[in-house]
Amino acid sequence: MIKLNTNENPYPPSPAVLETLARAADASVRLYPDPEARALRARAAEVYGVPMDHLLAGNGSDELLALVLRATVDPGDRVAFPVPTYSLYETLVAVQGGESVQVPFADDFRLPPALGRARARVTFLCNPNSPSGTLVPLAEVEALAREVAGVLVVDEAYVDFASGHALGLVARLPNVLVLRTLSKSFSLAGLRVGLAVGHPELLAGLRTVKDSYNVSRLSQAAAVAALGDLPAMQANVARVRATRARLTAGLERLAFRVLPSEANFVLARRPGVDQGPVARALAARDILVRHFARPGLEDALRITVGTDDEVDALLAALGVQGKANALRSCKASRKVRTRIRMVPRRSPGAPWPRFCLTVRDGRR
């Protein structure tokens, strides 16, 4: 199975994490974890250069998103976010009885000016955004934070793969909450660790609605170890970024349009062509990618950056799929008899595809 549908890291975490987990898995698991996750917050404070009282640990950043809404939104309150984006925002707003104000991104995924004027109690900005992979520049995030009426939550789940971040805003703007996760760049999705960085007053509100023991002992220990070995994380991020460039180039050779991605996934489009059948054909070959059956996204696939081998296998499968489609559409056409041949590529040095498809007019 090649799993490129939920944006996990294809590489293992730091060896220090696995050693720590082995050591921590002892009789002490009979004890509850530290409800304040002090060791984890102390380590995170060093890594992110923020005071410890500006940090709150969550059971993944998904829990932190839920806490924000539980703490701030009453039935009927407005929560704004640009779309398409992380679908959990809409679900969590509905659970809370709030009103989702969805402001469409333009085709190039620039920040829509109407977002700051939505008069929302909470505004979410996923940056880099999922599923587009695009990044809103810091100056625009700051302008948005100054314009919104309530809290701006900057969801930076993918930010370690990007070229900028908004952590610096927290010290200047008390309405900004930055969310981080150890699920992506640190390869700890299975352990569920997220961090909220914000003004202590904002965090106090989240604490009132948080379960006491929300992050397990093993997860806290592993997260301390992961944050203690930044070079391991950075090496994995560098490999993912290099493969992201290869994946993008390979998809473009297969006639996909790919937005410039600052995340560990890309959004690949064939404008106007439903990619649902492509995703299903890939799944039949044990390759999972994400297709969204949502208006405006049917012609796109979100593909997680895997290892080089996984990406090669995906590109090969997409190439075969493309040829099968070409064959089908040629057979469907009765007007012209066509013959399809595989011919060697003109530039044999190029890694893929080594062959290309030619369609000959049968009347030649």
Among the listed residues 13, 84, 116, 194, the single contact to ligand PMP using CB under 6 A: 194
Residue span binding ligand PMP (CB under 6 A) among the ranges 46-54, 181-189, 291-299, 320-328: 181-189
Task: List helix spans (H) across the chain.
Answer: 15-24, 38-48, 60-72, 88-95, 138-147, 169-172, 200-207, 217-227, 230-253, 276-284, 308-332
Locate 175 and state its tokens.
Answer: 């309405």
User: 7 or 219, CB closer to ligand PMP?
Assistant: 7
Residue span binding ligand PMP (CB under 6 A) among the ranges 56-64, 144-152, 169-177, 289-297: 56-64
Q: Between the CA atoms of 26, 32, 37 and 40, what dihedral angle is there, to the nearest 10 degrees?
A: 10
Q: Please give the single-letter amino acid code of residue 306.
A: G
Distance between CA atoms of residues 43 and 52, nearest Å: 9
Nearest approach in angstroms of CB 264 to ligand PMP is 10
Does 86 participate in binding ligand PMP (rule CB under 6 A)? Answer: yes
Nearest approach in angstroms of CB 222 to ligand PMP is 14
The residue whose two tokens read 């593909």 is 303
User: 169 or 196, CB closer to ligand PMP?
Assistant: 196
User: 84 or 194, CB closer to ligand PMP?
Assistant: 194
Residues 152-171 that bind ligand PMP (CB under 6 A): 155, 157
Q: How far is CA 297 from the centre of its chain?
A: 16
The residue whose two tokens read 């062509």 is 273
Nearest approach in angstroms of CB 99 to ligand PMP is 21
User: 155 or 262, CB closer to ligand PMP?
Assistant: 155
Locate 308 and state its tokens.
Answer: 């080089």
Distance between CA atoms of residues 364 and 362, nearest Å: 5
Does 288 participate in binding ligand PMP (rule CB under 6 A)? Answer: no
Task: Judge whether 275 and 267 are in contact, CB under 8 Å.
Answer: no
Query: What three-state secondary structure class fits 181?
Result: strand
Does 189 participate in binding ligand PMP (rule CB under 6 A)? Answer: yes
User: 126 or 266, CB closer to ligand PMP?
Assistant: 126
Does 181 participate in binding ligand PMP (rule CB under 6 A)? Answer: yes
Distance between CA atoms of residues 247 and 276, nearest Å: 20
Closest C-alpha to 221, from 26, 19, 21: 21
Nearest approach in angstroms of CB 125 to ligand PMP is 10
Size of the site for ligand PMP (CB under 6 A): 13
Pairing of strands 257-258, 265-269: antiparallel
Does 262 participate in binding ligand PMP (rule CB under 6 A)? Answer: no
Nearest approach in angstroms of CB 352 to ligand PMP is 29
Locate 267 and state its tokens.
Answer: 């959004």
Does 130 participate in binding ligand PMP (rule CB under 6 A)? Answer: yes
Which positions lie near ligand PMP, rule CB under 6 A?
7, 60-62, 86, 126, 130, 155, 157, 181, 183, 189, 194
